[in-house]
Amino acid sequence: MTGQKIPGIQILPFRGEYYELKPEKQYLVNNLIYPVPNPEFPFLGVHYTRMIEGGIEAGPNAVLAFRREGYSRWDLDLSELLETLSYPGFMRLAAKHWRYGWGEMYRSFSKSAFVKALQHLIPDVGYDDLQRGGAGVRAMACDLEGKLIDEFLIFEDHNIINVCSAPSPAATASLAIGKTIAGKALERV
């Protein structure tokens, strides 16, 4: 965006952390393994993903990042964090889902808790079968009522097309997103 905000919408950064399954246990995962999602949240819950270059990722969780590019648990930017915490939509979200949020935060620091969540899908995966992997940050749009927006949000102003929310599966949908934006641009020619 160009400094202009969509009224009532703010982007909240949620980090997703992964573990990796060690090679000797990768035979346990021959395909993508997902839980049944909770429709209240745009996050799927931890799952197992076979990577295109080999290897198995396990995760991600969904924890509030303390800065927009907060890829590690220790990344903090006070002014960005205050911006998040003081947003009325975030306050409403936190009041409603504080238990879920604390659970995710706890899993971020406790490997045992993370492993327990993964064992719901594969009981044979043990603590020592996993090593810490990477992390990504989802830019989640949140409205003033505290609802995380799980739809694509494209906002057009005078001469700019802003992609304000591109929730999962944005990579899978990237060609369609590009086509939509190109279509909108062509309408202006």
Residues making contact with ligand FAD (CB under 6 A): 16, 60, 136-138, 166, 168-172
Shortest Cβ 58–ligand FAD spacing (Å): 12
Closest to ligand FAD by CB, 93 or 165 = 165
Instruction: Between 94 and 170, name the residue whose CB sits nearer to ligand FAD.
Output: 170
Nearer to ligand FAD, 33 or 170 (CB): 170
Smallest gap, in angstroms, from Cβ of residue 17 to ligand FAD? 8
Among 63, 148, 133, 46, residue whose Cα is nearest residue 104: 63
Report the nearest approach of ligand FAD to the CB of residue 9 (Å).
18
Give which of 14, 17, 9 is closest to 117, Cα–Cα. Answer: 17
Quote the crossing angle between the two packed helices 111-119 and 88-109, to the nearest 10°.
90
- Taking the complex as a whole, the smallest distance from the CB of residue 24 to ligand FAD amounts, in Å, to 26
Where helices occur in 61-172 by DSSP H, the ranges are 78-85, 88-109, 111-119
Q: Could you give the angle at the alpha carbon of 45 between the alpha carbons of 26 and 60, nearest 5°? A: 60
